Amino acid sequence: MLHTNAYLARLGLPAPAPHTLDGLHRLQAAQLRAIPFENLDPLLGTVPDLDPHALQDKLLGAGRGGYCFELNALFGLALREWGFAAEPLLARVRNGAPHGGARTHQAWIVAIDRHEYLADVGFGGPVSPAPLQLDTNAQQATASGTYRVRHDDTTNETVVEKRTPQGWYALYSFDRVEVAPVDFEAANFLSARWHGAPFRDNLMLSLHRPDGRISLFNRAYREDRKITLIDRADIFETVLTTRFGLTLLPDMALAAWERIRDQPTER
């Protein structure tokens, strides 16, 4: 069950979102702006706990963020609590590649007025801040750029793409295979522990703000298309707490700094 008052307070919303397309837009944008994507727990050796109580203690009570399985699990609690018809999916991250990897990303398909929309608050890359209509291949303009969804005949998947100066960039792809809670538990464990996933050895943060998205990859902080390489532990902690608004346990920032200070600054 969703702790509604705590969720509304964290998101800065005055009331639950109505289960309309406008309500879904407001809810998705509000969570993306309020709760950052971050993978400090996997980086520091902990598998995130997806139990709803533990999840809300961390994201709503402790002032932390999370990665896709946490952020979209919390989002799903709100969707279902407030009457949205929502179906979870497991996606394959592409990040520009012609094919995806393992199923290590969670998002939602929400049905509203005989249309289906992709709703996602947990992708650490340049995710759409607005739901994307799935039954069209038309370009869809948002505050963060233009997106589209298309069918990939080779893999029989739906691909989510963002338009860039270099062309269309594939973010991730998915099919409509049925998924169960145990699938998310397994994917969460794999993402946190597997050397083939980026979260065990690299730090990634992302937060959507009214003036644009900010991000951090290890020591490389990006804002307004400018990249700043952080070279001191105290500056690193300040970025985490002031730019991304995280509340951290004592020595957590220092422990993370020791893990990533010699890691690559480009993906």
Give the Cα separation of 58 and 127 in Å (integer): 23
By the 8 A CB rule, do 24 and 117 touch? Answer: yes
Q: What's the alpha-carbon Rg for the chain, to the nearest Å?
A: 18
Strand segments (E) across the chain: 37-38, 85-93, 103-112, 115-119, 132-133, 140-142, 145-152, 157-164, 167-174, 204-209, 212-217, 220-223, 226-229
Q: Which residues pair with 145 in a beta bridge?
A: 142
The region that residue 212 occupies, defined by phi over 0 for left and psi between -120 and 50 for alpha, beta otherwise, is: left
Give the Cα separation of 118 and 109 in Å (integer): 5
Give the Cα separation of 202 and 38 in Å (integer): 10
Please give the positions annotated as active site.
68, 105, 120
Distances (CA, A) of 48 to 2, 40, 205, 246: 18, 10, 16, 16
Residue 239 CA to chain centroid, in angstroms? 19
User: Which residue reads 């709803």 in tokens?
Assistant: 52
Give the Cα separation of 201 and 146 in Å (integer): 31
Give the Cα separation of 101 and 155 in Å (integer): 12
By the 8 A CB rule, do 16 and 3 touch? Answer: no
